[in-house]
Amino acid sequence: MPSKRKTIALIVIVVILITVVILCYTYYSSGNQANISLVDVTLEASDSQAFLSDLMTYKKFKFTITYDIYGGFLPVTCKDFILNVKIEDLNVSSFQISDFQISSGELRNTETVLLDLSDLSYDDLSYIRNKFYDYEEELKVDIEGSATIDAIVFSKRITMSLTKYFMLKTFPSINLVSVNWDRTSAQQGETVDFHVVVSNPYRGSAISETLTVIVREDISWAYDKDVGTYSLSISLDVGQTSDYSDSFTVYKNYNTRGFFLKVYKRGTLIYEMGNYYPPRLSVS
């Protein structure tokens, strides 16, 4: 009889041990699978004026952070979830998200945060403002985070980061690099290409633009006149420089000196070829 009791006790102990091992392994797996990733940041400020007013006058920075939470088989705890905020590579503040449980599956969460920047010096605020203008009213924001995943029998420290560029300019602008003819002179009836080289000055924003190129005849002892209109559809990725071109067939009247180019953006003149040869195209 005692032998039978010992056997039962041993079986119970083994079952308990197996259960503990399974639970420990499951918690370990859940802790290993659990993760957090930053998805997006959105600014409350809608334009450059609102942003600079908040920054320089009210010394506040309001934004919404979106992050995904991934869980394992069993619930685990997220602790010490801290997010550090940089604006134009300058550390401005940090904030902590309250502890929470991570359940199985995937969950998307958002936090709207109002940071108090009153501890920043005037020089720091001016640095951000000047960088903002240096980059054509494009703002760089970095969020760097860390958290502890606690699975009772296992814990790990995770890190995450997200960089976002905000275009707060009402009308993003391309950089006009150069405008020229591919030759300095031509004969009547010849076709000559003109080139408009443009670049994207932004670090995180692709841009599209339509430029209008006008070919004007340079006329001696009379008013110059438009003799060709071209529309260039510009599309540039981050940091990209591209050459856009088209062709014009040269002609000559008795008082034609040559031809020159003017470039317009949204109806505003942004370039006119100098009053000399070259860069103007002479004709013979």
Q: Classify residue 112: in a domain, yes or no.
A: yes
Is the residue at 3 inside a domain? Answer: no
In a domain, 110, yes or no: yes
**Does 16 reside within a domain?**
no
Q: Are residues 112 and 133 in the same domain?
A: yes
Rounded Cα distance, 156 and 148, in Å: 6
Same domain, 126 and 240: no
| pLDDT score at 151 | 77
pLDDT attached to residue 260? 98
Among 136, 151, 167, the domain boundary falls at: 167
User: Residue 20 burial (CB < 10 Å; 0-12/13-18/19+)?
Assistant: exposed
284 residues of the chain, pLDDT tens digit each: 567 666 666 665 655 655 555 555 555 555 568 899 999 999 987 788 888 999 999 999 999 999 999 987 778 889 999 999 999 999 999 999 999 998 888 999 999 999 999 999 999 999 999 999 998 899 999 999 999 988 776 788 999 999 999 988 888 889 999 999 999 999 999 999 999 999 999 999 899 999 999 999 999 999 999 999 999 999 999 989 999 999 999 999 999 999 999 999 999 999 999 999 999 999 98
Is the distance from CB of 147 to CB of 36 less than 8 angstroms? yes
Per the structure, the count of domains in the chain is: 2
Q: Which two tokens stand for residue 266?
A: 């949204």
Note the pLDDT of residue 34.
Answer: 82
Asked, for residue 7, whether it belongs to a domain, the answer is: no
Note the Cα 200 to chain centre separation in Å.
Answer: 13
Same structural domain, 87 and 146: yes
Label residues 245-256 b or e (16+ Cβ within 10 Å = b).
Answer: eeebebeeeeeb
Report the distance separating Cα 78 and Cα 31, nearest Å.
10
CATH number at residue 228: 2.60.40.10
The b-or-e profile of 152-180 (16+ CB within 10 A means b, else e) is: eebeeeeebebebebbbbeebebeeeebb
Residue 65 in any domain: the answer is: yes
Q: Which domain holds residue 132?
A: 31-167
Verify that 204 and 162 share a domain, yes or no. no
- Determine, yes or no, domain membership for 17: no
The reply to whether 197 and 156 lie within a common domain is no
Q: Tokens standing for 200? A: 């994207």
Is 47 in the same domain as 112? yes
3-state SS, the chain, equals CHHHHHHHHHHHHHHHHHHHHHHHHHHHHHHHHCEEEEEEEEECCCCHHHHHHHHHHHCEEEEEEEEEEEECCCCEEEEEEEEEEEECCEEEEEEEECCEEECCEEEEEEEEEEEECCCCCHHHHHHHHHHHHHCCCEEEEEEEEEEEEECCCCEEEEEEEEEEEEECCCCCCCEEEEEEECCCEECCCCEEEEEEEEECCCCCCCEEEEEEEEEEEEECCCCCEEEEEEEEEEEECCCCEEEEEEEEECCCCCCEEEEEEEEEECCEEEEECCCCCCCCEEEC
At 261 the pLDDT is 98
Same domain for 134 and 42:
yes
Query: pLDDT at position 14, please?
Result: 59
